[in-house]
Structures are given as structure tokens and as C-alpha cells.
A and B are shown apart, each in its own frame.
Chain A
């Protein structure tokens, strides 16, 4: 395997306990400063949302023909981010890719928080969010059911299933670690951890069903990786709008989601490693793998882009061709070309091994990928709607302060959850990292892997 050896010496079981527990110590000023910034952004987010509920959707920059705009863009973006976590934890688990152990916890947390953030957007987006429960199939006197032909109802099921399965999977994975924290802590913290650890003692008769359950959830979560974003993509593919109505969308969206998800994992894990000094666990080898995955998914994405262009041209469909030509050359061309650069060109640097091991380059490319993927959704939604079937209504969407604030605020919401999490829960799986280490022997162990 052409991977660099970890620079740090292989840690021992004791090191793992010490290092992980260290992440839970009272944080420094920098952390609180960040939390303040996030708190302010979140307050602005809440203010903007309250204003929008009060005054109406007109507060956001939507119009005819862009009845959907930045909210759905950001919704799909976050759903996409929520993909890599399950992919890393479940799929790589089933394939026994051991390198996942040191990053999967952070990735899973990212998944759940990203899906939670995404889950806000359908509410933010709805004209009468107070009636959003109409989308749930609840028994009522009027015998009214949601319309099961509507992709939005599929979304409700797909996302709630995904969120519940990944949450359970996440919690199951946490149990032995929480027990370890319980043993390492005192006072009220200990009592809370004791409650959350569900009486975990680490006995053999606990481990055996635990392993089986974990494997089962991993198997359950794996198809969801494909299904959720496929379903989300059908919000568009099932519609008539030129630029949306395409069978390409499901694989296209899934691949894009994984692509952006890995970028987000890199964006989160690299600072974590730096601030918590986790170089021994999150090694350059991990970064190298992630960079490779970004490269591969990026290349696949480029292929899809080419397919999209080709089918629009080859179909001979007047509306598709006009829509595409307009997107590439007119008002929103800057967004389209930004997307092509970020998603197709920028990751190509990972063909060079030096780039794959350079933290600044990985970080920069990951940020670009996130920007590119946000714009991908933007380009699907806004310019397609701007140049639909009916020329009378063609028009340009302008973001307003309200929807910009809400979109920015969603990042604050995500980071609030994530930064909070890494301070109260082990962001590195104690148990699974230990599994990859050589068992402690009486005599001093040699270097390298077993």
C-alpha cells in the first residue's frame, strides 16, 4: 500500500484514553470566541426567520419563476454533506477498511448534524411552515393523506428514515466510548455518562450482541446512502423544468453528495487534528485516502457533467438546449463556471501525491469543493427556473438580506452542534481505535502495524 507511515509513534491503549479524554477538557478562549461568533450568526438566523414567518416568503428573494432558490439549494447541499458520514462508517465498516476508525465518529456526527440542518430548510422554505405537518401521514377526521405521488412526500420519508437510522447507528457506536468516559469522569458528568452508557460494562456477553447489532445497522444504513440522495434528486428529476427532467439525476446527486461529504470531513477533521493534537490517530495516510476519494468522486462528477451537456444537445429538445445555452452564457454563467472550476478542475491536483499529503492544499481544495457543490445545486435550481418553458416569465433572482442571513445562519447552526459535540463526546472512537492498535504486551512492542 503506497501510503506514508504515520509520523507519530503508534500510540498505546493508555495514550488513546488520555488523548481522547483530553478533548473533553474545559476549552480555551479561542473556542469560546468561535462560539460567540456562531451564537451571533445564529441569533441573526433566528431573527431573519422570525421576520420571514411574520411578513411572508416575500422577505426572501424568491419570485416567479424562481419559486425555489437558495433555501432548496442549501437544503440539498446539507443533505449531500450528510452522506459521507454514513458512507465512511457503514460502507467502509462492511468492507473492513480499517483506516476509517479514526475519522468515522466525526464523520457520523457531521452526518447527523448536517441532516438536522438540512431538515430545517423545508420548514424555512414553506410558505406556511405552521402547516408543514400536513406532509405527514397522520390519522385525521378528514381522511386526508399526503399525496404519495409527490417527490416532496418521498423526501419526508427518505430523510426521516435516514436521520433515524444514522442517529441510532451513531448512538450504538457511542455506547462503549461513553462507558469509557463514565469511568474516567467524576461528579455530575459521571452520572450523565452513566445514564447514556446504558449500563455498558464491556463484558463478553455484551460485546457479542453489540457486534451483531452494529453490523446489522451498518447493513441497514448502506442502502440509505444511495436512496436518500436519489430521492432528493427526484424532487428535480420528476419535475418538467428544462434542466431538471433527467434520469441522470440520482447517480449524479449521490456522487456529488459523497464528493462534498468527503470535502466536509476534511474541513472538519484537519483543524480537529491540529487543535487536539491527534496526529497519531488522524495520520497523513487518512488525508491521502480522503484526497483520493475526492479525486475519484470528482472525476465521476465531471463525467456526469459531460453527460448532462451531451444529453441536452443530443436530445435535440429545444427547451433543454435553450436552457443549457442560456446557463452557460448568460446571467448566471459565472455561477456555472465557478462550479466547473471547483468541482472538475480543482480536485485534479490530487493526482500529485505531494498535494494529497499537503494539509493546506487538501484544506483549500476541500473548501473549493464545498463552494462548488453549493453552486452545483444553485445552478440546477435558479438558472434552470430562470429560463424555463415560458419566456413571458423569464427573470433573474436576487438574494435578499433575509435569505442570505438564513443560509449563512444554517452554517452557524451546524457548527454549533458540531463544536458542542466534540467537547462533550469522544470525537474519536476509543474502542475502534484501540482495535487497530497492537494489544499491550508485557514486552515493549515494535513499531508499525501488526
Chain B
């Protein structure tokens, strides 16, 4: 074989492997020293699995290059997420390669954890278990896991039965128990239905943060995008009721700011208005009883007009969808709220259409918090001898402070944690047996009825870890006195064997196909359910604490969920879109209160409730309800800090609002998040927040433009964008081949930051740490900006993803003295790192300020460096960098097309940001092809260029946001809304 043949073979094999998409996993994941047919150096294999960063269970495909996973993408076939992934899913890689992952089993030695061998560790557990069993104290063994509704769950249930322990407890901090309780009462079904946002015309949410963490945020964001984003004259309406302007609220056409805890009241009032107005069956009015709408509105601090508007919108909708109850509004009246929501849906005929029982969400299988609390009580009473805590959950952090979990755990003889990184729970554990990361594990998970995702290892474990299930099988058999595999009640050698056994009858010989596909899914019909209407008491929730205090709104952070995501420095450095604060947690203080107490941004305040206190810097908010204080959950743990370009050990500044909450569950059995009033005290200390956005006011610069719905419709009919001739002394640039361009629909963008994280993952973007990020040195190639208009307390927000505009007349190019910034003949604005001297002139001259400078040599602490994309250069100190439109993907796409002897088609190439966007707000394509989506967007009526008056002629087109003229609050028509 000569050299030429060799290359031919390599390229052919490579192309085949690349185009084949998801590859079947081998029986064993092979290390690089063993040659494998499947492993072609330099060509990626894709393995499909299920994301386990939250219980939504999105399908994931993992890109494995040379034996190492370097990027995650949503599985395009998976019905939950259809290729999209949120920032947390994108950042899962950082947990896989986390520098702090345990290098093997750990045993408690005083305050520290010391390494020990697996045999010794397993023996410790099995001895203890057989002792407990022998002593007839099987019930003194408790097993707590995260939501595992697949094979692992049933395997563990068999384990508990075999050993005669307590039944397994499935603990999820956000279990939606109240919703289940309400559905039980109204429909007789203990389930969380599937909410078909995509089919709704009007969505009304009572505090449900469905674009952030609520049930299935990626899937619902996708549905919301399809329902809400302006397309061919159609656009849905979304009304959100919540005391705080959350990311979800900021996406609403109408955000109704109610008094904390009055969502149920508002929902009932709307129900009553609908019934009184004759829009729905009169019998539903019984639920509201003798509720006086005017009084309810007064109590909720909203105008009756607004309620009327909600009712009218719902009455007109075909069909409507009402959702309710994010964690932040889950208090002692949560069941009432969900009952009202269920009745509204039922009355409006949404049940069976947009509210589908049948494809029920996995959350329905969560053990209610009340039972978890009972277990903790048993622990405190000394009834528990062995406590096994599975991976993924961190009860030491997420259980309410009032429950005093840490004290209860001290009474337990042996606490075994399966976490693979140190957390607040391993700090209480006697033994840590690190589980494999979900990207290294076998398993399956059913996010909703009819959809079962398959999990397979996408690479060999990074550290010395063993699968949770494997370890449980081993210690279970040992405790039962069985020395051989294949015998007794737990005969399986591993979870892998068990998964295959259970799937055998389902898939028959289609196992490989199912694995490659990512699982099995079929349509589950929606059940038709008749509601039971009873009186609902929508009173105020019970709140502990000083009556003059402010109501605490503890809400899950969309970046960290319950704290699971907090180990990722990518997520830490990506700002919260609303506050634009990165790294640190904050206490959102209403502007009035701040003014009264002299609190400024960055002042450390102490927040005290009857159950605990915490200190965190203040973020003064004009939009928060003046009787509330909001603290994000999940800000747990700063994974690693970089100071002066150097890696330094973590400094943990946990800010946990859970510490302020009482132990008492709400009536539905869930954690009561809306349960305390708190007082604020200024400590005098300062800890300025790293706020990345200079100002939310665009000062009439028309960066984020909008057009109102009627005008958008009229323009869409007229068809074309108003084009202005370009005046130039130079001949127009020629593009012999392609001309790449992008478009961003800011009407579709929900500000979820998934694109930012995907960009970081794809392009080896360094993390600079809090201090540097606060000082304008963050390295993100893509940022999601929030621009606010209107009154400060009721701002209308527009989210705008901004990245290199690849201008045709790029200000950065002529000023570069060495041609490091140059124009390619495919319309990209190139940057040659090797040529860059670092004069930073381009950075000054870029009007969008999207160029990033390497102020230091940024470190990727081992083994995070393994994740680096081998197709993208890691930049050295002193050079400029910026968005390349994922030029490596363009090259790969062109190669594929060339191998197939054709031109690149629309959709062949997807940039990382586009690929992960749940609402398809970002498009990439060839501007020379008039049929490409990006070309159509470029000439669409809504199209505009950011800062077009400078004449840079960007290759990135933005589509204006479409504002729906909502009643209720005064919508100021856009004063300078482009050519509208």
C-alpha cells in the first residue's frame, strides 16, 4: 500500500464514520493502545445516551474523538429535545472531566477523606449490611437515589426487596408533588402530564418557570418557541404571573407582577371571571366559591383589568394552556394553585389537547418530600444504621435547613455516598464509593410515558470509578452470602447485563439499532379525563417569620438546577441572563427596600429566617415585588478559580436559600419553598458581583429592535426588507464559492444561554474566573445580552445573542498591521492566531466589541484539558480571538459535500450555537443560495443589521422581536423600532 492509497482509505473510512452519525458502542470501550476498527484517528464517533443533569432526560449524542468525549449535542431523533440541549447539558462534560473527581473510594478519617481500595471499601459496606440483616434490622437500611425510573431503579428496588431494607427513596428537590396531588384530586391521576406548548395558542403560567427548570425545560422551550415565535404571520401569546421577573417572565408578552403567594388567588379569580362571563361551564365557578374578583385582585396587587385581560385571552384561545407552580411559588397553597390550574385547563378544553395525561413526566415517580422528611426523622431517632445515598443528589445541600439533615446523619452508623465529586453530602459521609459519570455508564431512563432513552458508556471512566448499580449488586450478593454471580435474587454481573436482560424482549435483535437511535419511543395517546370540581381555598400561604419581613422567593437557578450544575466553571462564568451576574450568588433586593436600608449592589447582606441565615451580596432590582426577596438556589460551589491566569484551589462561598426554609412539607407532600419571611441586615462588607453587561439601556442605539404584531404581519405580507444601497468607492467583494452568513431571530431567543455554553465547549474558550470576568476580560465568543425598555419596574426585555458579525466591511481588518485579521473569500472574517502580534487595535475598532484578547495563558486544569476540541486551536497569551462561525464545522461540511461530489446544502453545516438552540433562533447557511433559510431571513421584512448606520455590512442578520400589544400594563409602542 503506498501513501496515496493509505490516504484514500483513511478519508473514505473517515467520511463513512462521520456521516454514519451515531455509532454503535463496542462491547468494551477500548483504550487507545488497543487498535480498533471503530477508532479512526482524527475522526469522531458519536454515541447516543441520555442526559442526566436533571430529570428531564433529554437525548444526547456524545462526540468521541480518539477515545475521549469532546462535545455533547442533543440527539436530533429524541422526542424530548430534538437535538437541542440546555447549557447544563452542554456543560455535563465538565463534570465528567472535573479536576476534583475522586480518584477512588474514600473513607472518612476525622475531617478529611482518605483513599482506600475497592475491596476493602466494598467489604465494609457488605459486612455492615449483613450485620444489619443478621440482626433482623433490615429496616435500618435506607437507600436514597435520584430519580431512576429505568432499569437501575428496578434493579435497586429488587435489591431492597432481596435485602429486606426500607423501600428505596427517590429524592428530587423539585418533585412537583403539589401538581401530582392536585391532579389526583381533580382527575384521579397521580401524574404530571405532558404540556404541549407547541399546540397552544395562548399560554398562561402561574409561576411555572418552564423555560428554566420546570419539568422539561428544553422540550418545553422548544414547544414554546414553536408556539410563540413569529412565523408567517402567526404568533402565540404568553402571559406570566409571578412576583419576580424571572427569565420565563421576561419572555412573556405580558408579565403580571402579583404579590408573593397569590398565584392561586389570581388563578381562581380568572376561573371565576371565565365562568361568570360564560366562556366556560358554569359549574367551574363552584371552585372559586364566593370569591370576589375585585377583592382578589386587590389582595394580589394586580389590576382587575389585567385579570380580565387574562380571562379574555384564554377564552379566545384555541386551544389554551395553563401551567403553574415553579418551585419559587410552591407554598402551603400550592395544591390549591395546581387545582385551579387543572380546573382551568379542564374548563378550557385543554385536557387531552395541550395537557396530555398518558405521556406523563418521570417526575411522577419521585418519592414525595414528606417521606424523605420522615426518613430524616427516623435517622434523627437513631432508627437508621446504614444510609446509602446514590449519585446525582446532594441532600446535604438541597434539604431545607429546618430539617437539620446534618444533625440527623450523625446518628447513622454508616453513611455511604456514591457521589464522584466532593459535595456537602460527602462531607457527612463515612464512605464514598465514586460512581461512574452518566457518560461512562449503562442504563436507561424514561423522561415521559412512551419514551425510553438508552444510556451507554461513551468512553472509559476518567477516574477509578465503578457504576453505582454494579457496586450495589456486589455488596448485595456479599451481604446475602452469595459468592457467585448468576445465583440468588441478584444474579446479574453488572447493570449492563441487567439492562440488556430487561431490553431483550423489547428490542429482540434490534438492540444495536435501539442503542444507536438512543432508545425507543412511541406515541402515547392522551387520556380523556373528566374533572371533579370542588371548592378550592386559594388563601395566602402560611409564612414563618416576622410579619413585617419580606417574603423569600427561593428559585432554582437555570444554570445550576438544584446545584448539580454548579461544579462547572463554564456555567459559573456564563451570566444569569437577567442580572448578567456570573460566578457569585446574590440576594435580589427590591429597589424600595434597598433605598430604605441603604443597600447598594454588591453590599453583603445577611438574610435571616426563623430557620437559618445566610450572607450574600445584594443585587438591587427594580422589577422584584417590593414585599419579596429572591435568592437563586444551586449556587453551591465555585469549581475552580483562575487568578492571574493560574489555577488556584476552590474557594467555596455557598449561598443556599434552602438553609432558610422550614422542614414542614406543603399539603401536597412537597418541599415548601414559599414558606418564610426574612429580614435583611447590611453587614457592612462588600463583595461586588461580576456583572458582565455595562448597562441594560441601549441609549437609543437600536441594537435590539422590535416591531409590533400588526406591523410585522403587514410587513410579512409586503414581503421584503427595505434595502438601502451601499455607497462605496470600492468594487463589491466577490465570493467565488460560498458566502457564509447567519441570522438570529430575537423574537425566538429566550435568553437561556445554551448557545454560550455550546460555544465554549466547541471552541475551547477559556474560563477566566470571577475577578477577571468582572473586569471585562471574559473570553466568551458569544454573549446573550438583555436589553430593557419601558419602566424599570416593569421592563420589556429583549434578548440578543451577539457574536462576531463577520462584517463585509470589517473595521477590524484594515487596522491590523500584520493581516492577522483578514477576509476570506467565503465571507468569513478570519483571524490568524500565529500571525497576531497583539496590538489589540482590532479590539478597539470593532464597534460590537466581540473580539476577545488573551490577557494571560489560561489554564485548563487537568483533566479538563482532555475535553479540548482537537479541531480548534487553544490560543496563546497575547493573541486576539473571536467567533469563527465554527470554521472547523464549515471545513468538515465542505469536505463531506466534496466527498459526495455535491455542493453544500442548507442544513449540512450547523454551528455549535445553532445546533443547541431549543427555539431555533440561530440559523447558519450560504448567503449566495437564495433558497437557503439564512438568505430568506436576510431579506425578510423583519431583518436588520445591528448598528447598520456605521456601514459595516455584517454577515449576521437579526430579525426584530415582535411585540404583542398586551392590555393590562402600558405597552409603550417602540419609539425607534426600526422601519416599523
Contacts and interface: CB of A to CB of B under 8 A. Distances in A.
Interface in B920-959: 947, 950
A390 B853 contact: no
Interface in A130-155: 131-132, 134-135, 144-147, 149-153
Contacts of B645: 55-56, 58
A64 interface: yes
A397 to B, nearest CB: 9
Contact of B815 (A62, A63, A238, A322): A238
Given A64-B776, A318-B701, A240 B840 contact: no
A149 B814 contact: yes
A239 interface: yes
A418 interface: no
A392 interface: yes
Contacts of B852: 64
B835 interface: yes
Contacts of B700: 318
Interface string A374-393: 00000000000100111111
Given A56-B856, A390-B848, A146 B818 contact: yes
B7 interface: no
Contacts of B877: 56-57, 127-128
Contacts of A327: none
A286 interface: no
A58 B703 CA distance: 30
Interface string A218-231: 00000000000000
B783 interface: yes
A398 B777 CA distance: 13
Nearest to A152: B817
A394 interface: yes
Contacts of B855: 56-58, 62
B698 interface: yes
A99 B849 CA distance: 52
A125 B878 CA distance: 10
A135 B837 contact: yes
A22 interface: no
A393 B701 CA distance: 14
Interface in B855-874: 855-857
B108 to A, nearest CB: 40
Contacts of A147: 814, 816-819
A20 interface: no
A55 B644 contact: yes
Nearest to A319: B701
B802 interface: yes
B815 A150 contact: yes
A63 B838 contact: no
A68 B838 CA distance: 11
A127 B845 contact: no
Interface residues of B, number: 51
B971 interface: no
Given A128-B836, A132-B837, A150-B815, A58 B772 contact: yes
Interface in A296-327: 318-319, 322
A148 B734 CA distance: 22
A443 to B, nearest CB: 66
Nearest to B786: A392
A62 B840 CA distance: 10
A145 B816 CA distance: 12
B703 A390 contact: yes
Contacts of B950: 240, 389
A126 B837 contact: yes
Contact of B814 (A63, A126, A135, A150): A150
Contacts of B811: 239-240
B690 to A, nearest CB: 12
Contacts of B819: 144-147
B688 to A, nearest CB: 12
Nearest to A155: B817
A233 B176 CA distance: 65
B407 interface: no
A126 B878 CA distance: 8
B817 A127 contact: no
B352 interface: no
A151 B815 contact: yes
A52 B570 CA distance: 27
A65 interface: yes
Interface in B816-859: 816-819, 835-841, 843-845, 847-849, 852-857
A63 B775 contact: yes
A204 to B, nearest CB: 49
Contacts of A68: 840-841, 844
Given A64-B853, A239-B844, 11 more contacts: A55-B644, A59-B644, A129-B837, A238-B814, A239-B815, A240-B847, A322-B699, A390-B703, A391-B694, A393-B776, A395-B694
5 smallest beta-carbon distances between A and B, as pairs: A127-B838, A127-B878, A58-B855, A394-B694, A67-B840
27 contacts: A58-B772, A64-B843, A67-B844, A67-B853, A126-B837, A126-B839, A127-B838, A127-B879, A131-B837, A134-B837, A147-B816, A153-B817, A156-B817, A239-B841, A240-B845, A240-B847, A388-B849, A390-B947, A391-B701, A391-B703, A392-B693, A392-B695, A392-B802, A392-B849, A393-B776, A395-B694, A398-B775
